Amino acid sequence: DSGVTQTPKHLITATGQRVTLRCSPRSGDLSVYWYQQSLDQGLQFLIQYYNGEERAKGNILERFSAQQFPDLHSELNLSSLELGDSALYFCASSVEYDKILLWQYFGPGTRLTVT
Amino acid sequence: GDSVTQMEGPVTLSEEAFLTINCTYTATGYPSLFWYVQYPGEGLQLLLKATKADDKGSNKGFEATYRKETTSFHLEKGSVQVSDSAVYFCAQNGNQFYFGTGTSLTVIP
């Protein structure tokens, strides 16, 4: 158990819909990262938050957005869903020491299926 | 820019065979290097890490040495088991984390 929790574990929805994925980082970790893992594209970094503020953006579509709340949990919102958005979505958290990112702890993931 | 390149899979080995998965990196600074493992249906788990040149990370019989001269961090295990079947990711922590594309390993009895 990494200490990072994600809900829901599975999500099935239709094209055009909107969903919200939730992540709670390990106790004490200020950084939260979101990744998308699909069969054909591997692990794609989407976005990072640090203590409530966006820190880095990766290959995140405009239809996707995220935020980190004061209690440090994060939500990833996916809208106007397409079949190609079907994937595993992972959240990770990490500790920083003297502004250096240490290793990440990953949650178990949310499997999104768009039909 | 910073990146990680790892050996394409899939890799299939017999039990007790020797494993090498190659990983090279490009970095503007002095990153730490990592190997993560993802078992079927699970998230990624940190397998081992090395924080500076010539450091050797090791865990569960796996080893990798941080080679600055060849910018490499190859993963090795002397005798694989069926339970090692998983996807292995090489990663570095520059200004953000960079992951390789993953190498799928299947170990057959």
Pick from A23, A35, A41, A21: which is nearest to A84 by CA?
A41
- Output DSSP code: residue B72: B
Can you say how many angstroms the Cα of residue A70 is from the centroid of all Cα atoms in its chain?
Answer: 17
Supply B22's token pair. 């190659």
Q: How many CB contacts within 8 angstroms connect chain A with chain B?
A: 51
**CB contact burial A90-102 (16+ within 10 A = b; e otherwise):** bbbbbbeeeeebb
Residues 6+ apart with CB under 8 A from A101: A31, A94, B93, B95, B96, B97
Q: Which of A11-15, B30-34, B77-81 has the lowest mean pLDDT?
A: B30-34
Q: Which of A111-115, B10-14, B41-45, B82-86 has the lowest mean pLDDT?
A: B41-45
- Residue A43: which of B49, B95, B99 has the nearest Cβ? B99
Please indicate if any CB of chain A lies within 8 Å of the CB of B46: yes
Residue A44 half-sphere exposure, CB side, CA atoms within 13 Å?
16
How many other C-beta atoms are found inside a 10 Å radius of the C-beta of residue B63?
17
Tell me whether residues A104 and B46 touch, CB distance under 8 A. yes
Distance (Å, whole) CA A55 – CA B6: 26
Amino acid at A36: Q
State the pairing for strand pair B11-14/B103-108: parallel
Confidence at residue B96, expressed as pLDDT on a 0 to 100 scale: 76
Confidence at residue A59, expressed as pLDDT on a 0 to 100 scale: 83
Confidence at residue A99, expressed as pLDDT on a 0 to 100 scale: 65
Q: Which of A43-57, A91-105, B42-56, B88-102 has the lowest mean pLDDT?
A: A91-105
Which positions in chain B touch A39 (Cβ < 8 Å)? none
Supply A108's token pair. 């178990």
Residues 6+ apart with CB under 8 A from A106: A2, A4, A90, A91, A92, B36, B43, B44, B45
A contact test, residue of B47, B95, B97, B103 with most A CBs within 10 A: B97
User: For chain A, which ranges sit under pLDDT 50?
Assistant: none
Pick from A83, A44, A43, A77: which is nearest to A63 by CA?
A77
Model confidence at B44, in pLDDT bands (50, 70, 90)? Answer: very high
Supply B56's token pair. 């050797």
